[in-house]
Amino acid sequence: MSSINLVVNRNDQLEKELKRLRIFRIIAIGSLIVVALISIIIFIINITLPIPAVRKDQQQTLSNISFLHEKLVKSYLINNRIKNISDIMAKRKDYSKTFDQLLSKIPADLAIDAFEIEEGVISISISGNSLIPINDVINEVIKMGNEEKIIKNVAIEGLVLNAGIGKYILTLEADVL
């Protein structure tokens, strides 16, 4: 006679292994589903937003920014130079009145060869064919120096005859007020 054992021996260890196996299968299937969903989402994003177009837009934006940056730098430099020139012009003494008054004393038959104003000192070189108008200029400049309205301390640096061209050259120096 054969015996059939109707009482099942429960093997706890085997049940634990089977339970772990089911959990691992569920995790594996869940991971597979998550990876598949992520892949599908990335595929849809690539189709709807083409990356070359985004990169092209990015490059165009970067070039626009660099162009505007160059314009900004140039604008800043120009404004800085204008400000510096304005500061210098504000500090600089206006010699136009002095220049105009000295020119009004020079007769038409004389020529101005050089006229310099440096740090409050005027140097002027006048040439002419005759000593008479040069004498008139010397007298007028000395008179202006004595009045001390525009210039003072007038000094004759030289009176030379250039025989080659037949002209007298007068060089004066004076302090500007």
pLDDT in tens, 84-137: 999 988 887 777 777 788 888 888 888 989 988 888 888 899 999 988 898 888
The 8-class DSSP code of residue 118 comes to: E
Residue 115 CB contacts under 8 Å (≥ 6 apart), including other chains: 99, 122, 123, 124, 125
Three-class SS state of 90: helix
| 127-154 per-position pLDDT tens digit | 999 888 988 888 888 888 887 777 888 8
Residue 154 CB coordination number (10 Å):
17
Q: Distance between CA atoms of 122 and 115, rounded to whole angstroms?
A: 7
pTM score over 0.75: no
Residue with structure tokens 């985004």? Answer: 54
113 φ/ψ angles, rounded to the nearest 5 degrees: -90, -35
Residue-by-residue DSSP string for 142-170: HHHHHHTSSEEEEEEEEEEEETTTTEEEE
> Domains of the chain by range and CATH?
96-176 (3.30.1360.100)
